[in-house]
Chains A and B, each alone.
Chain A
């Protein structure tokens, strides 16, 4: 069964550094998402992406965040200058067109900002 994959599984970085989290969505999916979960808190929506554009973004997704689909398979989340409060588990998800509600999630990348 096809799966969403994410790399790395764990990223440790210094405050102020840029990080790029990578995701490979399921190949025939056209909608892509990023969510995050701070330890002990809810899973929070960050952004949805379709047709090379952001469809919707949350208040969390400020100018420090950006997303990109650099080629036909990868979907990336960049944090330009990390803060301590960016430490969280970041989940990528994807869905087919016409069924955006059934989302398939990757295993997550744990980001630790020191």
Chain B
């Protein structure tokens, strides 16, 4: 069965500092991995995805994520955090062999960036 774990409920960083939001996954086949962000009263917004190829994936708003197969991780990173990055972040996985689009989400990590 596919699953995603986000071990931190909340991550606090100071503005300008680098940030990392952690995600580990478990999937039987080739994983397709995603990060979504949710701002208050808004739907989930797609940030980036890894399907195949380069392990470092770049996405929206300066975010990037690194796929690490040996550690089954897909951590979200940003070199310099902004206060406006404060939001709820979800890691998700889908089974690459399925074309139904079913996403399995982690429980979410609240990112708090302080000025």
Contact = CB atoms under 8 A, between A and B. Distances in A.
Contacts of A106: 43
B106 A108 contact: no
Interface residues of B, number: 25
A101 B105 contact: no
Q: Decide if the interface of chain A is mainly helix, strand, loop or mixed.
A: strand
A68 interface: no
Given A45-B102, A101-B49, 10 more contacts: A35-B103, A42-B105, A42-B106, A48-B101, A56-B98, A56-B100, A93-B44, A101-B51, A107-B41, A107-B43
B103 to A, nearest CB: 6
Nearest to B45: A105
Nearest to B104: A45
B46 A102 contact: yes
A31 B90 contact: no
B43 A91 contact: yes
Q: Size band of the A side of the interface?
A: 20 to 34
Nearest to A100: B101
Nearest to A31: B101
B51 A41 contact: no
Interface in A64-114: 91, 93, 95, 100-108
A103 B82 CA distance: 25
Interface string B94-113: 10001111111111100000
A43 interface: yes
Q: Which 5 A-B pairs have the closest CB atoms?
A: A100-B101, A105-B43, A56-B100, A43-B105, A105-B44
A99 B107 CA distance: 24
A17 interface: no
A101 B34 contact: yes
Given A101-B51, A107-B41, A56 B102 contact: yes
B44 A91 contact: yes
A55 B95 CA distance: 14
